[in-house]
A = this chain, B = another copy of it.
């Protein structure tokens, strides 16, 4: 796209509270007659109302009620639903990912607003990228909800395999801040409510666990509120584990620092949050954690045409300390930023960000919450929950959305929770999996549905004979196993057990078959492995 108009073009990257409110404030300036062109680039076409995202788990509100189409919120803004690929500050150009046709897509800017927020990043935590559920966007919330229902569906028919059933009925959330507490509260309410529709399940087998590294949850609020929240959660059946850190994850367990392992198929991690990776490559001043340093005017250091706000920026408050990463701060920053872009165009005075915060609130699910109001007033329980609902309902963008949420909340008072398990996306093709020592990749007698390739670490192949197990082989990087599944044999002939922390690629049978049929080299390398294993003593895998 070329930059044809003579107007000043402001390009905003990111559609969270920071980016959307910056555009909203700039639209007001346009309505007042400013000659601005506003472009917003976001990878989704909707804005997520983050405070209500945990409610998607339980379906208290409709699946789409928590999001608003950006086009409806911002009628004067040109929305590009794309990922940002790169930013060239000198050429004043943003390059986005391709759409249906893979040609390069460039957006020129006069002013650039960086509102890219934070991303989940599990680097340094073994197995979390592969096996933990993040909880940041609508897709995450829907995926978690569907997975939880699937776990219940499966637990109700796995009656002969107690260890699997207990794994399926254990739900672990890591992180005791607002986000983790809201997620565990909704998850716990939901699981225990819908379990009543599963007559084959024993509710006493359900475990919901919250892992927190500190001595009390909710470090954001006063100790009395944290204690209130802890009591509520525990009374409802959540096991709260203090001074406990998550160290690794596999498809079968959450592994804690110190070595304890909690068998589970559902691990949610709300903890690791990093600035957007695009910022790394930008030649702009950054603070610790890689966030961009902003002036009190919301400009990036040393630039008059690059602005930043929200969670990706370090914005000083009046006392010099950085703004916390909350919606109320981002929206106030947006107003100052929009004013300053207009002022800088006219050569007028810039405003300085100055906002102290109005209070803090967190929902505890099922008609309870904690809140710290302005003036240090602390509220908890039903009253706090009522305040929480009312404030957020009025903050929801658009009266249509408010009406929908109010109507969902009303129906929720007397209807049971939704338990439809939506299958999203289906099979994932080539998957990366992480295994910890002692864990079985598969067991003798299991159905053979996928093939594995060891990338790092090691495993051993064991076979039962005369009541004892004997070791057949050791597998290391570059070794294939599980390939017998491709010959029409349907059950595994041996058990493969992880020896050292192992990363493996796994391919479903269908995917592997189509690749092998079309890649002669791959098929040949595979046939060699099978040939070698046919000699009984070396026979490994299944």
Residues of A within 8 A of B (CB): 1, 44-46, 59, 62-64, 67-69, 71-72, 75, 78-82, 98-105, 138-139, 142, 149-151, 153-154, 156-161, 164, 167-168, 197-200, 265, 400, 403-404, 407, 411, 415-416, 418-426, 428-430, 432, 442-443, 445-449, 453, 455, 478, 490-491, 505, 511, 514-515, 518-522, 524-525
Closest chain-B Cβ to A486's Cβ sits at a distance in Å of 15
Chain B CB within 10 A, most for which of A68, A407, A429, A514: A429
Task: Provide the bound-state CA to CA distance between A524 and B399, in Å.
Answer: 60
Task: Provide the bound-state CA to CA distance between A102 and B420, in Å.
Answer: 23
Contacts of A45 in B (CB 8 A): 149, 153, 419-421
A105: nearest residue on chain B (CB-CB)? B157
Contact B99 A158 (CB under 8 A): yes
Contact B453 A519 (CB under 8 A): yes
Contacts of A432 in B (CB 8 A): 514
Contacts of A68 in B (CB 8 A): 420
Contacts of A149 in B (CB 8 A): 45
Contact A139 B99 (CB under 8 A): no
Task: Provide the bound-state CA to CA distance between A69 and B149, in Å.
Answer: 11
Closest chain-B Cβ to A417's Cβ sits at a distance in Å of 10
Contact B1 A160 (CB under 8 A): yes
Which of B75, B138, B168 is A199 in contact with, Cβ under 8 Å? B75
Given A411-B407, A514-B505; A447-B158 close (CB under 8 Å): no
Given A44-B423, A425-B424; A430-B515 close (CB under 8 Å): yes
Task: Provide the bound-state CA to CA distance between A265 and B101, in Å.
Answer: 11
Closest chain-B Cβ to A343's Cβ sits at a distance in Å of 27
Please list 20 pairs of residues, one from A and one from B, whose beta carbons are closer than 8 Å in the complex, sorted by A's number: A1-B159, A45-B153, A46-B420, A46-B421, A72-B416, A75-B197, A81-B154, A99-B158, A100-B151, A102-B448, A400-B415, A400-B416, A403-B411, A404-B415, A407-B407, A424-B425, A429-B429, A429-B430, A453-B519, A521-B524
Q: Copies per complex?
A: 2
Given A45-B149, A522-B521; A98-B447 close (CB under 8 Å): yes
Given A403-B411, A421-B45; A514-B159 close (CB under 8 Å): no
Chain B CB within 10 A, most for which of A101, A149, A404: A101
Contacts of A82 in B (CB 8 A): 157
A103: nearest residue on chain B (CB-CB)? B446
Task: Provide the bound-state CA to CA distance between A82 and B156, in Å.
Answer: 12
Contact A157 B101 (CB under 8 A): no
Contacts of A522 in B (CB 8 A): 519, 521-522
Task: Provide the bound-state CA to CA distance between A98 and B72, in Å.
Answer: 44
Task: Provide the bound-state CA to CA distance between A420 and B138, in Å.
Answer: 11
Which of B103, B167, B168 is A445 in contact with, Cβ under 8 Å? B103
Which of B98, B158, B418, B426 is A425 in contact with, Cβ under 8 Å? B426
Contact B511 A519 (CB under 8 A): no
Contacts of A156 in B (CB 8 A): 79
Given A44-B423, A45-B421; A518-B428 close (CB under 8 Å): no
Contact A521 B521 (CB under 8 A): yes
A421: nearest residue on chain B (CB-CB)? B45
Task: Provide the bound-state CA to CA distance between A45 and B168, in Å.
Answer: 17
Contact A67 B425 (CB under 8 A): no
Given contacts A99-B158, A429-B511, A505-B518, 18 further A-B contacts (CB under 8 A): A1-B157, A45-B420, A62-B63, A71-B419, A78-B157, A78-B200, A81-B154, A82-B157, A99-B154, A101-B161, A102-B442, A103-B161, A139-B424, A400-B416, A425-B425, A429-B429, A521-B524, A522-B522
